[in-house]
Amino acid sequence: MAEAMKYAVISGRKSFLSGRINPRGHAIERRINAEDVRKNFQPSPGEITMCHQPSGFRTRVDGAIFQGYKVTPYYDSMICKVICHGRNRTEAIQRMRRSLDEFVIEGIKTTVDLHKILLNHKKFLDSDFNVSWLDKEKLL
């Protein structure tokens, strides 16, 4: 099946799955990093002394952090991803806000608070941003 899908893409033909997939709702993901946002996103290694991850309807956390987990400076600073799904963008954002409010990570600096700021910013809510937006806004 994978070969057939690759061939369809390469040849420019519509995939045999076209028309069978019906998008539903909206999903939003936030990558939680062990970084100090006030120090130009410098890595924040150390031991997680407290960890409470969000849960709930249409909310998922992908990662393996826990109380006592040691974050090292030797690898990617992403410690987990939070994914929320809603019937529409507004509902997905509301679920993500709740999830980030529930998230407790102590012992290291993380990007959780930055994501809370971004999710409430007018430009984000209006979908009026681009890749250089964060640098220009000086939110921190």
pLDDT recorded at residue 22: 80
CATH number of the domain residue 91 falls in? 3.30.470.20
pLDDT recorded at residue 7: 62
pLDDT recorded at residue 47: 98
Query: Is 70 contained in some domain?
Result: yes
Contacts of residue 120, defined as CB under 8 A and 6 or more positions apart, other chains included, come to 97
Mean pLDDT of the chain, nearest integer:
89
What pLDDT band is residue 131 in, cutting at 50, 70 and 90?
Answer: confident
For residue 49, the enclosing domain spans 24-137
Rounded Cα gap, residues 43 and 124, in angstroms: 25
Could you give the count of Cα atoms lying within 13 Å of 29 in the half-sphere of its Cβ?
A: 8
Query: Is 98 contained in some domain?
Result: yes
What pLDDT band is residue 132 in, cutting at 50, 70 and 90?
Answer: confident
